[in-house]
Amino acid sequence: MTGSTGAAEAGPTDDGRSGRVELVGSWLLLVALLCENFGVVWDVQWHDDVGPDTFFTAPHMLIYTAPALAGLTSVFVVLHNTFRASRTSAGGGSVRVLGVFRAPVGFLVAGVGGAVELAYGLADLWWHTVYGFDVTLNSPPHVGLALGGMAICVGAILAFVALRRRRAGRWGLAASVSVSLCSMIFALFWAQPFPVSVTPICVFCLVMIAGVTRRPGWVTLAGLLFLATQAAGWVFAPWITRVYADSVGLPFRDNASLNPYLPSLYPMVLPVIAVLIEVGVLIGRRSGTSPKAALPVVGAVVGAGMYVGYTVQFGDAVSVPLAALVAALGAAAGWLGWRASFPLRRLGPAGPPPVSPGSSGATSSTAVVV
């Protein structure tokens, strides 16, 4: 592959079928994200309350379902897009790979992430063969698995961004961001202090939704879906861990708390933060304030609010210097999130969507040669 960027190319009109394929494929990527998230929640709870595991455990198999599903889905969508000789589809721009394949950007990223995660899965199998039980979550294969999982998250988000003009695409964007934030928080677990590392990512993703959709309600929906994901993990993790431990005849640790470990690290205040971002964007529009000026202020306010929420959640004392740092990072994340929405919006069609799946109409898109 080369790194050059080609000029925008005009493509054929959307015949509806490619758009449906990408839409179904995007939702399958979301299913993969859910498998990854709940597999990780289960695995972390298992390590915390039971302890020993091998490679072939049920939580691991649920985790590895994610890259397998994401990889197969991405391969199918890329081949479908290529063999139909469609440079554009309902999902927008494509990326040329090796001069032959035409891959929608999101599926290219998700497919590469799935391949990386499966490769590190083999490394994890070797690791367990050599060292036996895992004694820590922060092993080298697990770091690689987390990186591959993050790529799948990014790919799913990009796939839904490209479909943002469809209501199902906007629902998928809100859902994929909410589930991806849960996975990102797990990946940032070792970056301390915890609120400093998590807050900018959350602000960036929520502001990005506002910039991509340019419609009210979707940021709030992402916050509510995040809360639903957290609540589901809160119930799922202790229950499935007990059921699985009983089924394989392993006892709990003497100091096992049976409390949902990973979901308790998710910011419970995030739905409130999402509403505040929504309100800030709305006030900025009505007052005629430029988003470039308004969103850093909104990011600073919600960043500081998220830090205070974390201190209440963890029972810590508020540190004024740390709150100021988080506010500054939130301001930067708010500005970057809005700016990032501009290139992201080029992934989708510029004009209105077709009235019906079978209707035709020229759309503009961008094809990038890599």
Q: For every one of its 370 residues, what pLDDT tens digit does the chain have, with 9 covering 90 and above?
A: 444 333 333 333 444 555 788 899 999 999 999 999 999 999 888 888 887 667 778 888 999 899 999 999 999 988 888 877 544 444 446 777 776 677 788 899 999 999 888 888 787 777 777 776 665 666 677 777 778 888 999 999 999 999 998 999 999 999 999 999 988 888 776 666 777 888 899 999 999 999 999 888 999 999 999 999 999 999 999 999 899 888 888 777 777 777 888 888 898 999 999 999 999 888 888 887 777 788 899 999 999 998 898 888 888 888 888 899 999 999 999 999 999 999 998 886 544 444 433 444 444 333 333 3
- Cα(28)–Cα(13) distance, integer angstroms: 25
Per the CB < 8 A criterion, the answer to whether 114 and 68 are in contact is yes
CA nearest to 238, candidates 260, 253, 266: 260
Q: Where are the beta strands (DSSP E) in the chain?
A: 94-97, 101-104, 367-369
Give residues with Cβ within 8 angstroms of 90, minimum separation 6: 14, 16, 18, 19, 20, 22, 23, 163, 166, 349, 353, 354
Q: How many CA atoms lie within 13 A of 172 on its CB side?
A: 30
Residue 360: CB atoms within 10 Å: 12
Tokens 């992430």 belong to 113
Q: Which two tokens stand for residue 20?
A: 């449906």
Three-state secondary structure of 71-121: HHHHHHHHHHHHHCCCCCECCECEEEECCCEEEEHHHHHHHHHHHHHHHHH
DSSP for 163-205, written as a single string: TTTSHHHHHHHHHHHHHHHHHHHHHTTTSSSHHHHHHHHHHHH
Per the CB < 8 A criterion, the answer to whether 107 and 161 are in contact is no
Domain ranges of the chain: 17-349
How far lies 179's CA from each of 35, 241, 348, in Å? 10, 21, 22
Q: Sheet harboring 367-369: ordered strands across?
A: 101-104, 94-97, 367-369
3-state SS assignment for residue 259: coil
pTM given for the model: 0.83
